[in-house]
């Protein structure tokens, strides 16, 4: 399971001209899933994401987690995070989990975040053609792969 986390001052997701998710200060999380991912990956990744100290404290130092800061979250499925570009110029997405595996893991990831944060987590729509708009605050962008825990 791989995430790209962006600290945002605002973000939204639009599908077919309709805004389906919108937040102010918080995190936009792009989530990529592979067949080998499990609940253990979800648990580890949720804990890591929610406890990253990437929000400013009263002195402007990145010393607060999302939970400390009270920010919101949008999670967007992104199979292209697992693109392989080793051969040729057309990325291969063979590592990305198919929907029958990815959708339940995606939904569980969102539920796990929600239970820890204690408020609704906004999402895009799995498999949809989405337009993601954001203002990256900082900019702060962090990539985490649950398979690289060491």
Examine the residue annotation and report whether 79 is marked as an active-site residue of this protein.
Answer: yes
CA–CA distance, 71 with 18 (Å, rounded to integer) = 23
Of 19, 34, 129, 138, the C-alpha closest to 74 is: 19
Catalytic residue among 6, 55, 69, 79: 79
Catalytic residue among 6, 69, 78, 122: 78
Query: Tokens for 84?
Result: 């392989």
Specify the DSSP class assigned to residue 84: B
Q: CB neighbours of 87 closer than 8 A, spacing ≥ 6?
A: none
Contact status, residue 129 vs residue 13, Cβ threshold 8 Å: no
Examine the residue annotation and report whether 80 is marked as an active-site residue of this protein.
Answer: yes
Residues with catalytic annotation?
A: 78-80
């Amino acid at each position: 399971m791989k995430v790209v986390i962006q600290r945002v001052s605002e973000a939204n997701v639009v599908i077919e001209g309709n805004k389906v998710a919108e937040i102010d200060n918080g995190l936009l999380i792009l989530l990529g899933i592979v067949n080998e991912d499990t609940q253990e990956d979800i648990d580890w990744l949720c804990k890591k994401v929610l406890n990253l100290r990437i929000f400013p404290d009263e002195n402007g130092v990145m010393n607060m987690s999302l939970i400390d800061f009270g920010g919101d979250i949008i999670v967007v499925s992104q199979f292209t995070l697992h693109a392989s570009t080793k051969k040729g110029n057309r990325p291969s997405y063979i590592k990305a989990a198919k929907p029958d595996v990815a959708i339940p893991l995606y939904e569980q990831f969102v539920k796990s975040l929600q239970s820890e944060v204690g408020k609704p987590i906004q999402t895009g729509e799995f498999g949809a053609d989405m337009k993601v708009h954001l203002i990256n605050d900082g900019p702060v962008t962090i990539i985490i792969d649950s398979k690289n825990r060491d």
